[in-house]
Amino acid sequence: MAKRFTEITPRIRAFIAKQPMFFVATAPVGEGRVNVSPKGYKDTFEVLDEHTFAYLELFGSGIETKAHLAVDPRITIMFCSFDRESNIVRLYGRGRHLRPDDPEFDGFAEHFNLAHPSPRGIVVVDVESTQTSCGYSVPYMELRDERPVLDTLHGRRTDQEWAQRVAEVNNRSIDGLPGLEPDHPLPTTVRRLPAA
């Protein structure tokens, strides 16, 4: 049975800390596609307090989350257990995307492992409500390991390849909304801070 809360409870926070991945859902205002993206790398998500979390957003093949948040800040994050603990957690809130050259970026970046070679920004979310539910139909699966492919691939890109990616792949969402600006900082220029 679903239970609703107005905050990230200690029990929800403990559950989140054990999960190796999460899902991000956003949508534009009015018409347009609802987007759901899976996110891996456990060290890219951090609960900051009972009403705030953030995650390190890495470069990918789309720019939906950033494009959507610019026009509609609503965002939902879902964590789902695949082991014997049947549980689904959803965090509902309003988010914003911080570029690496944003004055607030470094303050949030200290919570993450910036050894990942492709930081695109940080998504910061003010939580409005949370929900837990049973997840009784979710299959059992065992985690073998984190998939290192994204870090490996992005670690080989040159500044020229990054600039091309910004201009050609991450400049517009699938619905044509503005994505990254032409002057978006390339990953190789992001100041590396040690994880907290």
pLDDT(195) > 50? no
DSSP E strand stretches across the chain: 3-5, 22-26, 35-39, 45-49, 52-58, 74-80, 88-98, 119-133
Residues in the chain: 196
The encoded tokens of residue 37 equal 């993206």
Confidence of residue 20 (pLDDT cuts 50, 70, 90): very high
Give the span between the Cα atoms of 9 and 182, in whole angstroms.
Answer: 40
pLDDT tens-place string over residues 53-72 = 999 999 988 999 999 999 99
Q: How many CB atoms lie within 10 A of CB 161?
A: 12
Whole-prediction pTM: 0.93
Domains and CATH numbers, the chain: 3-189 (2.30.110.10)
| Range of lowest pLDDT (20-24, 110-114, 122-126) | 110-114
* Res. 81 pLDDT band, cuts 50 70 90: very high
